[in-house]
Amino acid sequence: MSEELIFLNGRTWIPTVYYVGEFRTKFFEEIRDNKRILGVRCPECKCVYVPPRATCPRCFNKLSEWVPVGNQGTVLTYTTVYYDTRVQAIQPKKPPFTYGIIKLDGADTGLIHFIDQYHASDLKVGMRVEAVFKEQCTGSILDIECFKPV
Amino acid sequence: MEKKKKPEDYLRVEIPTDLPYRWSTGPYVGKFFAELRDNGKIYSSKCPSCGFLFTPPRVVCPRCHIRLPMWPDWQESGPKGTILTFSVVKAPFHDTVTGRLRKVPYTAAGIKLHNGGVLEHFLDEKDETKIKVGMRVEAVLKPREQRRGNMEDILFFRISPE
């Protein structure tokens, strides 16, 4: 008996809204207004967190010392995405594109962002990259367009 | 002391996530929908061990853990039945077809089909004072040319006049 395959369409719509809190607000506003990336330093272990956070996860200290970090940094790791989910909230860019973890100069942690390359020959762990800021900034992580090889 | 800030005093992020998806029903439910679409018939399958009826048919009996028969060893059920349970929904809830909130009020019901199992669907009556468990109902189907082989091929169940 030949069987017909029946497919059904479904849809999930999740209109998420949230407020980023004190630390991310200052972080995003500094990017938006001054094109400058900030981190916070732990008074005990001296670790500089980018993006900034309220508590040091190692020492459990409350953090308050804001330090500017460089707009340039080093690529710790990266991955190139080819699969298109066609869901803008998950993929703000159209594949292929590259995500990387970038350790900015003066920071001790990595920031996840886009790297403006997707050819394997142009990508290398340890390569130097620089933040490219958008013209029209709105106060979000996407105010940094991407990181471009220096 | 500085006044404590509210969450709304900080930057707001909106993520309008829209996730369209598509899934295969598998052979049993696929055949159920194909019969509903092409012939306007609602089929149920019966467990040969415990006699429980499933609408739509399923592959395995969840009570006896044995494989259930495939069409044509199904039995035709409905379109008439009785209300086993119902709920008039007044708080908006997600519609898994559109992803948006379903227009309220609407009535969800479990219909015990004649010669079949319990099918979850909607009633056209939205006034809970006019609905009683045990009332006789009948499925209202879309016209043949509008049926697409999904649960919306049954528009709703209508309360039969006594």
| Chain B closest-CA separation from residue A26 CA (Å) | 9
Domain that holds residue A103: 21-149
- Phi, psi values for residue A32, rounded to 5°: -65, -45
Q: What is the mean pLDDT of residues B38-52?
A: 95
Interchain pair A88, B7: CB under 8 A: no
Q: What is the mean pLDDT of residues B149-155?
A: 94
- Name the average pLDDT for chain A: 92
Whether A33 and chain B come into contact, CB under 8 Å, resolves to: no
Q: What is the mean pLDDT of residues A140-150?
A: 92
What share of chain A in percent tops pLDDT 90? 77
Give the residue on A whose Cα is nearest the Cα of B101.
Answer: A13
pTM equals: 0.69
CB A5: neighbour CB atoms within 10 A? 10
CA-to-CA separations, B159 to A34, A77, B49, B77, B136, in angstroms, rounded: 66, 63, 33, 17, 6
The Cα–Cα gap between B102 and B116 comes to 28
Interchain pair B30, A4: CB under 8 A: yes
Among A35-39, A88-92, B12-16, which range has the highest average pLDDT? A35-39
Q: What is the mean pLDDT of residues A60-82?
A: 95
Interchain pair B13, A15: CB under 8 A: no
Whether A123 and chain B come into contact, CB under 8 Å, resolves to: no
The Cα–Cα gap between B14 and A35 comes to 22
Counted domains in chain A: 1
Q: How far separated are the first and last CA of chain A, in Å rounded?
A: 63
The Cα–Cα gap between B20 and A9 comes to 7
pLDDT of B4 reads 80
Cβ atoms of A88 and B20 within 8 Å: the answer is no
pLDDT above 80 (res A1)? no
The Cα–Cα gap between B38 and B58 comes to 20
Whether A138 and chain B come into contact, CB under 8 Å, resolves to: no
Give the residue on B whose Cα is nearest the Cα of A25.
Answer: B11
What share of chain B in percent tops pLDDT 70? 99
- Residue A14 falls within a domain, yes or no? no
pLDDT above 70 (res B114)? yes
Phi-psi sector, A64: left (phi>0), alpha (psi -120 to 50), beta: alpha
Top residue of A4, A6, A7 to mutate, by most chain B CBs within 10 Å, is: A6
Give residues with Cβ within 8 angstroms of B67, minimum separation 6: B59, B60
How confident is residue B66, by pLDDT bands cut at 50, 70 and 90?
very high
How confident is residue B68, by pLDDT bands cut at 50, 70 and 90?
very high
The Cα–Cα gap between B141 and B154 comes to 4
Q: What ipTM, to 2 d.p.? A: 0.74
> Closest partner residue to A3 among B11, B12, B30, by Cβ?
B30
How confident is residue B19, by pLDDT bands cut at 50, 70 and 90?
confident
pLDDT above 80 (res B59)? yes
Interchain pair B14, A17: CB under 8 A: yes
Structural domain spans, chain B: 24-159
A15 neighbourhood in chain B, CB within 8 Å = 14-17
- Name the average pLDDT for chain B: 93
Tokens found for residue B78: 């409905």
- Residue A7 falls within a domain, yes or no? no
Q: What is the DSSP string of B49-116?
A: TT--EESS--SB-TTT--BPPPTTS-EEE-SEEEEEEEEEE-S--B-TTTSSBPPSSEEEEEEEETTS
For chain B, state the CA radius of gyration: 21
Q: What is the pLDDT of residues B70-80, one digit of tens each?
A: 989 999 998 99
Top residue of A2, A16, A19, A29 to mutate, by most chain B CBs within 10 Å, is: A19
The Cα–Cα gap between A29 and A135 comes to 14
The Cα–Cα gap between A28 and A21 comes to 11
pLDDT of B1 reads 59
Give the residue on A whose Cα is nearest the Cα of B21.
Answer: A10
- Residue A12 falls within a domain, yes or no? no
pLDDT above 70 (res A108)? yes
